[in-house]
Amino acid sequence: MEISNQRYCIQEIPLLDVAKKYGTPVYVYDGEKILSQVEALKQAFSGVTMKIKYATKALSNLTILKLMRQAGTGVDAVSIEEVQLCMHAGFAAAEIMYTPNCVDFEEIKQAVELGVTINIDNIPMLEHFGTEYGPSVPLCIRLNPHILAGGNAKISVGHIDSKFGISILQLKHVLKIVQAYDLRVVGLHVHTGSDILDAEVFLKGAEILFDAAREFGQLEFLDFGGGFKVAYKDGDITTDIQDVGKKVSAAFQQFCKEYGKELEIWFEPGKFLVSECGYLLVKANVVKPTPATTFVGVDSGLNHLLRPMMYDAYHGVVNISKLDGPERVYTIVGYICETDTIAADRKLREVKEGDVLAIKNAGAYGYSMASNYNSRFRPAEVLLLHGRDHLIRKRETFEDLLKNQPTVDL
Ligand code: LLP
């Protein structure tokens, strides 16, 4: 978001105009930012075949998926519905990694029929897979590397107490099953968590993957998961993608030499590709001074952006209706009947009723975690690309709320 002609703009499009045209609340995505993030990640790796499998769950709008496909990424999907959505967006089965957790085996069967790469995350499922398919269907195995990393406990998923993946301590058991059913393991996967700052964590993950990989003869790829940390606050330290790219590429090249085959290296970023591209534009319904705090109550809340309440996540807020004048301290809250504080004690240019606020970093896990709580409609989504605005999802209507509720005569 830059200031141009005294207005907050993206690609020279004033955000206030977008709010006026589509109403608030509205999610707005900067398509050019998405494309530049994809490019930055590609550039960071050299001398290895690196494939991006975009973590669909971060932002799963069909048009965004199509944009990713145009930019040359594959996808990681965590449910059969996400797999279907990705196929609908034009991804070929070969470009789709399916990484489910605790799903019914029926869902795995559906994914096998669709021909996507299956990532197995527990031992009973591996055995079930063996009985059902033997060597006829290639598979990937998700390992739990026992690395404690990630921005907070809820998004740290590679530690020993996590429900995700098969413990590396169970590798012998895995190998027995692989042998017993003559399974064709073509990939190994780890994902340690989200908001990971340090290249060392990825290198530690690499070591663990390499150690495990030495036990498998037919591998085609190693998947390092996602988790690159982006800036949420001004001055936030972020994952140095160049550093990760350089160090992991070097370690990977070395390993491939030893393995005797050029494997592919996969990453599954969500936040890195789509967090910073997104803004949730909301309207100030009320400015409410109290003895302790001045609240700004907006036409949105935890139903549209859950992150601040679920993870105490920080999201920057800007009053885009006002470029100058003194700043005051406000606490921005939602209109939901819960304590849904979006941002506490923030300095904003003086807010008046009707002003539009832009909530930053709303691209990843924003709309995709939204709900109809309090029977509110989910917002519209708008993509800004090549200097033009495109409605990519309509705001919900009352009909949407009623749609799946049959009328019952009582
Ligand atoms: N791969 C796997 C297997 C994952 O489970 C995830 C995220 C990713 C990749 C992408 O991680 P990312 O690059 O976006 O950090 N809702 C939380 C984040 C949960 C992430 C779940 N898994 C949040 O808003 O912070």
Please tell me the distance between residue 296's alpha carbon and the centre of ligand 1 in angstroms. Answer: 30
The mean per-residue pLDDT over the stretch 88-109 comes to 97
Q: What's the rounded mean pLDDT across residues 287-297?
A: 97
For domain 31-271, the CATH class is: alpha beta
- Total-model pTM: 0.96
Would you say residue 150 has pLDDT above 90? Answer: no
Region class of 11: left (phi > 0), else alpha (psi between -120 and 50), else beta: left
Active site (annotated) includes residue 102: no
* Peptide bond between residue 291 and the one before it cis (omega within 30 degrees of 0): no
Q: What is the ipTM of this complex?
A: 0.99
The atom number, within ligand 1, closest to the CA of 152 reads: 25
Q: Which atom of ligand 1 is the closest one to the Cα of 225?
A: 1
Cite the residue boundaries of each domain of the chain with CATH code 3.20.20.10.
31-271
Residue nearest to atom 6 of ligand 1 (CA): 226
Ranges in the chain annotated CATH 2.40.37.10: 2-23+278-362+364-402
pLDDT in tens, 231-287: 999 889 898 999 999 999 999 999 999 999 999 999 999 999 999 999 999 999 999
Instruction: Identify the CATH number of the domain defined by range 2-23+278-362+364-402.
Output: 2.40.37.10
Is 100 close to ligand 1, i.e. is its CB under 6 Å away?
no
Provide the mean pLDDT of the chain: 95
Of the two residues 161 and 205, the one the predictor is more confident about is 205
Average pLDDT over residues 379-408: 97
C-alpha 408 – ligand 1 centre gap (Å)? 40
Would the CB of 227 count as within 6 Å of ligand 1? Answer: yes
Question: Given the CA of residue 195, which atom of ligand 1 is nearest to it?
Answer: 15
Taking CA atoms only, the protein residue closest to ligand 1 atom 5 is: 191
Residue 201: band (very low, low, confident or very high) from pLDDT cuts 50, 70, 90? confident
Q: What is the pLDDT of residue 284?
A: 98
- Predicted confidence (pLDDT) per residue in 40-57, tens digit: 999 999 999 999 999 999
So what's the pLDDT on residue 198? 82
Q: Give distance in angstroms: CA of 318 to centre of ligand 1.
A: 26
> What's the token pair of residue 303?
């139903």
